[in-house]
Structure 1
Amino acid sequence: MPRFSVIVPCYRVQAFLPECLDSVLGQSFGDFELIAVDDRSPDDCGAILDEYARRDARVKVLHLPENVGLGPARNAGLPHATGDYLLFLDSDDTLTPGALEAVAGRLAETADPDVLVFDYARTYWWGGTRRNVLAHLLAKEEVFTAAEYPGILDLLMVVWNKAYRRDFVTEHGFAFPPGYYEDTPWTFPVMLSARRIAALDRICVHYRQRRQGSILSTTSRKHFDIHDQYERVFAYLAGRPELASWRPYLHRKMGEHCLDILAKPDRLPPADKAEFFRRTARMFRAHRPGGARVDGEVAVLTGSWTGYRLRRQSARAGREAARRAGRARRAAAARAGAGWAALNARRPLDERLVVYSASSHRGVLGDPAAIYQAAREIAPELRGVWVVRDEETAAGLPDGVEHVIVGSRRYLEVTARAKFFVNDVNWPGTLAKRPGSVHIHTHQCTPLKYLGADLRDKPGARLGVDVPRMLRRADRWDFSLVASRHAELVWERAYPCHFTSVRTGSPRNDVLVRGGPGGFRERHGIPEDHTVVLYAPTRRDYRRGGYVDRIDLARFAAGLGAGHTLVVRLHPSLAAGPARGMGLAELARRRIVVDATDEPHLADVLLAADALVTDYSSVMFDYAVLDRPIVVHADDWPAFAASRGTYLDLTAEPPGHVTRGFRELSGLFRSGGWRDGESARLRAAFRARFCEFEDGRAAERVVRTLLLGEPPSGPASRIPGQSGSRDALSPA
């Protein structure tokens, strides 16, 4: 008996069906049967299914004598299912790689619950991917019932984001009715009846958003089917007194669902909307529990169609009036702000005022933070003010940090009067540079990948990047901080503007040179005697969304063996996308890896790591300061270099061993070669070139020479073992 029975109903999906079937048959977990139901499809779906069945014994094909629709087609597959668990997959959707293995693992971990709910991501015909916005609801570790965790019912009420214990389904006699909204009378009874529900915080299904052809996006009277389906839900409750407490919830849910259909402009023919409203209102009144409050949006169902239309018209008029008023307020605020800024711009510059920002106003971070801390110690007479993006960010600032919200009146005043500006990205285009003000640009990295003007012939990499505007903002720079002559030459080439390169080193890396204590291991419960391997992949410009899964994290962590901890830190641009839902969140929950993506201070993570595995992330240049082993996993180097452009051939001048496949990577760590003499030799050459001015005094150097105006002192900063010298602050 297989662990899973995957039921796939098929109708007019010949263009998408092979991808769907391949996504199942290519799973790393192979203990399943695939039951494909040809719902009398008029295209070649039946022939495609038969060909797959000939090639793979796990595929069973049912050819229905007539078209019955999605729900009954699923029912047709149920008697043929022999697996412990049932999964339903629509034939234009796909399972993600490793999905069944993750589901099997979570089922074993939770002792075979009745239902397991997992995550999904919408994939769009134009190439975009968007994760379920309610994915956080799936982070719950304990087994529960719907009554204990009702938030689980806020998820999309569909059949295909769950695995169902087959004996549970058989015991309750669950089946799909015909109709458009067949998921509704299946999902609610199943979820409310389940005695044990578990959640899996992992994207297991890619939910295809077709440009055309989606049943529920079609304008048709068939949307009236929603009423019959909710009648079935209420009938199910009527026969089960133990579920009576759910009637108020489902009453409201039904009203919200129907009103949502009514409000969509492309669902119902205009001539049918009044009838749909009246039928909904009748059902709403008929199933209203005694004494239940009716408020909020659904209260409109207690009135008439005319009242609903007037309310909708009033709401639209109100929204339009609010938009007009908002535009007027913003215009007035802009005029007032411009006037306030102009007034302050006529006042003298405040020679002691330094304005800081980091990572697009995200807090006290990176190089600007290091300079700010050094200024507080060396030059307390300087007033440092941070620009942050909103009140939420401001609430997370350390105690005693003066701040302004970007765009506010205080922001306009401070930026009009400040003598010094310190930032690691460009300031907004609205900020005017006053004569006599000094802009210090710290950057966020030593560059490997093409940037700025060098992106002009890289259309994929510059997607959404306005290079001319970027250069106009860079025209405000007075000083550009560099950690090496490589960085100096790159920044001057990529940003052909009138600034002075200053060989200070990277202030953010001072703590790495000095070897600060950090606290990452303690916060994450990593034993002090463990060898910590940090995996830090970067984004890909040849893939929309930037995410490419390069290695099997679970296998890699297991291969490291006892006494090792694998820490993963995604590129910041991937932190809020689907990348974490493709397995990282689940592995972190199971303590197989530690997810350091949200750690605000990169230096804490680097200090905790005994080795770095990366592909082409610029974090390698910072980590090299620690003189610890680095492994470059370059399995797609030609594609990456061609799509983005790079300033050096990393495979020819690496900071350590280079691997080009997972087997080679895991073998390197099993053998201990990751820290051998060749690794040290390569690292020494890399450090000599790219960590040239990193001596732990960069922040102090910036404060004394650029903020206080003291003359440069001493020779150029050199890492240990280098010869030669040059003034650390001499311009290029």
Structure 2
Amino acid sequence: MPELSVIVHGPDTRGHLAELLDSLAARPLPDAEVIVAAVGDWARETAAGHAPETVVLPLPDGTGDAAARAAGATRATGRWLHFVHAADGLPAGTVRTVAERAAELPDTVDVLLLDHVRSTWRTAGTRPADGRLLARAGRAELALDDAADLLRLTPLLGTRVLRADFWRAHEERLTTDDDEAYTAYAALLTARRVACLNQVGYDHRVPRPESLPPVTAEERYALVDRYEALLALAQDRAAARTVLYDVMVRDLLRTFAREDMPEPVAREFFRRAALAAVRHRPPGHHRPGGLEGVRRGLLEEGAYTKYRAFQAANRTRRAARAAVRTRKRRLGAKLRDQQYRRALGRRVDPDLAVFSAYWDRGVACNPAAIAAELARRAPWIHPVWVVTKDNAPLLPPGTDHVVPGTRRYWEVLATAKYLTSNVNFPNAVVKRPDAIHLQTHHGTPLKRMGLDQMRHPTAAQGMDFAALLARVDKWDYSVSANSHSTRMWQRAYPSRYTSLDYGYPRNDVYYRARAADVRAVRDRLGIAPGRTAVLYAPTHRDYEAGWTPRLDLAALADRLGDDTVLLVRAHYFYDTPAALTGLRRTGRIIDVSAYDPVEELCLAADALVTDYSSIMFDYANLDRPIVIYADDWETYATTRGVYFDLTAEAPGQVARTQEDLAEVFASGAWRDEAAAKARAAFRRRFCEYDDGRAAERVVRRVFLGESERALPPVVPVADRTPAPTPEEATA
């Protein structure tokens, strides 16, 4: 029995079926089957080209979606069913990811919820807000009464993977008509328990409205009927009913306001919506405040004429406010532009250096290491950090800084001789001929970067590649930690800058720290002597809206035992995860998501567990064990794009499941001879220029103008001595 049956259903009206089936055939899996319930000749002929690997069920023209789904489900043999409309798509790696997640779930879970992207005739891969709800729910198995907000997810059946036995037990309810949204909601309301997968597993393609038949009056009124039927399903479930009522009222009001209905249809729709709003209002339910509360009040009154007048007045008010905001914005931009232009007329200050790290988050990374070395070797050069208003209070005492957008901000950017960043300065920054722009980057690239992201829409979403190249053209120097990075930067960011193959300044500490430094960091973190500290540092995923621990951290801590403490660091893109709040009270898990600098965490850790984060390349300098947890490698590699196969060229052991990971530590494989051999090869390749003197080289070459020949040569990897391990530091 396969774990998953992918049931593709419907007519091939927009010609996407071949593309969908090609993507499925490109990655066949032994634990999944594909069944095409092909409606009409076009779909049948397209699907026939993929037989016998694909099971084809020819269905006559006019067969509805519900009947097509039912036909496919009847033929399916998988434990789980994933219904995919022929007009939609599946992101690469989805089938494997869904099958692996579904295999973990017990028979008490009836529905697995996925994230999705939305594509239209104008845009591709737009992320809705669903991911945040899924991230908040985590990976636990939930009863809907305990997670009723999941009813706010976009009602797409393709984002609900159903257990086959659950489908068969409730097939009549789930195939009442062709209203997919009803079926998507009904599946949740009927399920005993649900689980979430905070990854994009569906591409919903929305056709241009003008390409569809006009919406009839009865189809408009059917929206009200849908919610009334769903509320009947939630009759005895207070939490679900309250959320569903809120969803209904918002949807009905949005439809009334945005859809261009003929006047008689609009009046009747409003009347039916008003009756439903009053009839199904939960006891004690309070309207929201503000304009939304006014709208709901008018709806419940059935005050059609008043509501139309309110709409007109609101449109007028919004237009007036927008005009005022636009005028203020233009005046502000004009003033800032004038100030900046005046500053650009001044001479460049040869003793002024501007630093920025991680989109103005504070003193960190390679810029911080360079600034510290600059203070030792050229104290006459004055550093100014660009830091956001929120992060300014966190700066070290006495740090001179500017807040983006302020008058002094533009003045220092216009007059500084040196501009150093590990990302990029804004597009508006002018590259003066006698100023120097130093790009330090903030990691060795495993994932594709820059122009290489163009072929990966999920990763490239919202990127302006022309503007990116304009920023790259301002670089004078690009810092590199290894020849792999040098080649990838030249490919991803093609321009005339000079590559400084000196190592990453932030990694100097891994060769300069002493035993006392290691002990001091562990003391600050509360790690008792003799305990093994494992740093877990996963990376950001473009196909996830929020951070959900991919490991059951409590279970892992239990398997590792009392002598091991987990240091858990979420990616800086996310807030401190709520999932860690309870776990850190146990003493075996320490949340270090907000701890800076990360280099100190590495010094404190006996081993690193990561997935695809560039921290692995930095940590390898310490020559300590690294374990790769690659549970979604295929999805990550295909969606984000990668430069090499990490699973084949890893710096140590590779685990694909939590059980594998626990066994790696339990068996001692994390630090055995095979792991050491893999790490040695990895260090030779990716720690090529890191020897503890990178910051010195950068400062002497860029800020002091010394020649390349005058700089200290890079010490070979075999001749370096990293900082002592925690065990050595306490010996």
Q: TM-score, normalised by structure 1?
A: 0.64
The residue number in structure 1 matching 2:269 is: 276
Question: Paired residue for 1:386?
Answer: 385
Match of 1:90 among 65, 81, 84: 84
Q: Secondary structure at the match of 1:335?
A: helix
Alignment of 1:493-508 (within 5 A): 505-508=503-506
Q: In 2 relative to 1, CA 519–476 (structure 1 residues): closer, same or farther, beyond 3 Å?
A: farther
- Do the aligned partners of residues 76 and 297 (structure 1) sit closer, same or farther apart at CA in structure 2, a change above 3 Å counting? farther
Structure 1 segments unaligned to the other structure (5+ residues):
540-544, 547-551, 577-593, 660-668, 724-732
Distance in 2 (CA, whole Å) between partners of 1:51 and 1:479 is: 53
2-side partners of 1:282 and 1:412: how far apart? 58
Cα deviation, residue 315, structure 1: 3.5
Give the SS at the match of 2:40. coil
> Contact conserved, 1:423 with 1:441, CA < 8 A, in 2?
yes
Instruction: Report the CA distance between 1:105 and its aligned residue.
Output: 0.7
Alignment-derived partner of residue 228 in structure 2: 231
Which residue in 2 is equivalent to 1:696? 692
Corresponding residue of 1:511:
509
Shift of 1:305: 3.4
Q: 1:702 to 1:533 in 2, by over 3 A?
A: same
Alignment of 1:256-275 (within 5 A): 256-265=250-259, 272-275=265-268
* Residue aligning to 2:661: none
Does the Cα contact within 8 Å between 1:446 and 1:487 map onto a contact in 2? yes
| Structure 2 letter corresponding to 1:175 | R
- Aligned partner letter, 2:275: R
The 5-angstrom pairing of residues 107-146 of structure 1 reads 107=106, 112-113=108-109, 115-122=110-117, 124=119, 128-131=124-127, 133-138=129-134, 139-140=136-137, 142-146=140-144
For residues 55 and 503 of structure 1, what CA distance do their matches in structure 2 show? Answer: 50
Equivalent residue, structure 1, for 2:203? 207
Contact 1:6 1:35 in 2 (8 A): yes
2:310 is equivalent to residue 308 of structure 1: no
Question: Residue by residue, what CA displacement relative to the aligned partner does 1:592-629 show, whole Å, maximum 9, x if unpaired?
Answer: xx9999998675687669799999x9888766755689
- With over 3 angstroms needed to count, the CA separation of the structure-2 counterparts of 1:619 and 1:181, relative to structure 1, is same
In the aligned structure 1, how far is the partner of 2:434 from the partner of 2:282?
72
Q: Within 5 A, what are the aligned runs for 1:358-377? A: 358-375=357-374
What do residues 116-172 of structure 1 show as CA deviations (whole Å, max 9, x unaligned)?
332132264789435553223335354443333222222123444335567767878
Q: Counterparts in 2 of 1:437-586, with a 5 A limit? A: 439-444=437-442, 505-514=503-512, 517=518
The amino acid of 1:29's aligned partner reads D
CA distance in 1, matches of 2:79, 2:645: 47
Query: Separation in 2 of the partners of 1:676 and 1:279?
Result: 71
Give the superposition deviation at 1:355. 1.9
Q: Aligned to 2:12, what secondary structure does the other structure show?
A: coil
Residues 444-496 of structure 1: per-residue CA shift (max 9 Å, x gap): 567999999xx79x986999988887676567666665668998999999876
- Note the 1:577-656 alignment, pairs <5 A: 603=599, 625-626=621-622
Residue in structure 1 matched with residue 356 of structure 2 by the alignment: 357
For residue 719 of structure 1, report the CA deviation from its aligned partner: 0.5
Contact in 2 for aligned 1:533/1:565 (Cα 8 Å): no
Gaps of 5+ in 2: 288-292, 545-549, 575-589, 655-668, 720-731
User: d(CA) in 1 for partners of 2:204 and 2:609?
Assistant: 36
Asked whether 1:337 is paired with 2:342, we answer no
The two structures, once aligned, show a CA RMSD in angstroms of: 6.6
Counterpart of 2:31, as a letter, is F
Measure how far apart 1:316 and its partner are.
3.4
Give the partner amino acid of 2:271: R
SS in 2 for 1:90: strand
CA offset digits 1:264-308 (Å, max 9, x no partner):
45x756774343233322332343456644425433423533433
Q: How far, CA to CA, are the matches of 2:454 and 2:256 in structure 1?
A: 42
What is the identity, as a one-letter code, of the residue corresponding to 1:282? L
Contact 2:40–2:58 (8 Å) recurs in 1: no
Q: Structure 1 pair 68/223, CA: closer, same or farther in 2 (3 Å)?
A: farther
Q: 1:618 to 1:86 in 2, by over 3 A?
A: closer
Question: Contact 1:534–1:566 (CA<8 Å) still a contact in 2?
Answer: no
Q: In structure 2, what residue type is equivalent to 1:354?
A: A
Check the 8 A contact 1:23/1:97 in 2, yes or no. Answer: no
TM superposition shift of 1:203 = 3.7
CA change 1:132–1:472 in 2 (3 A) is: closer
Distance 1:51 1:283 in 2: 49
**Distance in structure 2 (CA, Å) of the matches to 1:498 and 1:183:** 53
Match of 1:298 in 2: 296
Post-superposition Cα deviations, 1:383-404, rounded to whole Å, max 9, x if no partner, equal 543224x545557766765543
Does residue 149 in structure 1 map to residue 150 in structure 2? no
Quickly say closer, same or farther: Cα 1:395–1:326, change in 2 above 3 A: farther
Counterparts of 1:701 and 1:284, CA distance in 2: 70
What residue is the counterpart of 1:102 in the other structure?
Answer: 101
Worse-matched range after superposition: 143-152 or 224-233: 143-152
Residue in 2 that maps onto 1:29: 31
Cα distance, 1:356 vs structure 2:
0.9
Give the distance between the partners of 2:501 and 2:83, measured in 1 at CA: 58
Quickly say closer, same or farther: Cα 1:700–1:28, change in 2 above 3 A: same
**What is the identity, as a one-letter code, of the residue corresponding to 1:207?**
D
Query: Which residue among 417, 428, 431 is the counterpart of 2:429?
Result: 431
1:187 corresponds to which residue? 185
1-side partners of 2:445 and 2:68: how far apart? 56
Q: How far does residue 511 in structure 1 lie from its aligned partner after superposition?
A: 1.9
Are the aligned partners of 1:174 and 1:190 in contact in 2 as well (CA < 8 Å)? no
Q: Secondary structure at the match of 1:208?
A: strand
Q: Is the 8 A contact 2:354 2:416 kept in 1?
A: yes
Q: Summarize the alignment of residues 698-713 of structure 1 with structure 2, pairs less than 5 Å apart.
A: 698-700=694-696, 702=698
User: Does structure 1 retain, via aligned residues, the 8 Å contact 2:159–2:202?
Assistant: no
Q: CA deviation at 1:368?
A: 0.5
Q: Are residues 152 and 496 of structure 1, via their aligned partners in 2, closer, same or farther at CA, if it must alter by over 3 Å? A: closer
